[in-house]
Chain A
Amino acid sequence: AQSVTQLGSHVSVSEGALVLLRCNYSSSVPPYLFWYVQYPNQGLQLLLKYTSAATLVKGINGFEAEFKKSETSFHLTKPSAHMSDAAEYFCAVMNLPIQGAQKLVFGQGTRLTINP
């Protein structure tokens, strides 16, 4: 079974500082990996995805993530945090069975707080 572990349920950074949100996955097959952002009382918005193409993936709002197979990691980064980045972030791995629908398995989430 596939799983995702997000290290740190809460990360706090200063405005303008580097954002690093950690995600490690477990998968017996090459995974598809996703990062989503959730603002309070809203659904999920896709930030970026890895689907076995380039290992460095660029997403929206200046975020990027690097797939490292040797480390089974897919950490999310942003060079300079903005106040509007404050939200909950979820890493997810997709189960790709031969038959049936592909299911997303989510990590526990990381709440990002930006200090002025």
Chain B
Amino acid sequence: GAVVSQHPSWVICKSGTSVKIECRSLDFQATTMFWYRQFPKQSLMLMATSNEGSKATYEQGVEKDKFLINHASLTLSTLTVTSAHPEDSSFYICSARMAGSNYEQYFGPGTRLTVT
């Protein structure tokens, strides 16, 4: 149980285009989902927290107009990287917190984004 999927697992896009990453909780309802970014050989940095049906809360320094987050249902959150640039190339990981849980997060397998 408690499986989180991400799609796509990897994506290459051209500079200036937008790309959408999906995060799904497959066997549970997730009231809260988290989006992280991980640069090579570095730790995970929280980008934003999204709650179903409300606006995402972004961490300091993360541009909300560049990284659009939508959490439209209890099983799906999306991250759209708009006008992507090479410096946005990274590993994006989502996690989901089960409804009724006060702390445990389940992580997706990650999405490798390369912007050329």
List A residues at the B interface (Cβ < 8 Å).
Answer: 32, 36, 41-46, 49, 51, 90, 94, 96, 100-109
Contacts and interface: CB of A to CB of B under 8 A. Distances in A.
Interface string B92-116: 0101010000111101111010000
B103 A94 contact: yes
B103 A43 contact: no
A90 to B, nearest CB: 7
Interface of B: 4, 6, 32, 34, 42-46, 49, 51, 57, 91, 93, 95, 97, 102-105, 107-110, 112
B62 to A, nearest CB: 13
Contacts, number: 54
B51 A90 contact: no
Interface residue SS majority, chain B: strand
Given A43-B93, A44-B93, A102-B102, A90 B107 contact: no
B43 A101 contact: no
Given A41-B112, A43-B93, A44-B93, A103 B107 contact: no
B103 A102 contact: yes
B70 to A, nearest CB: 17
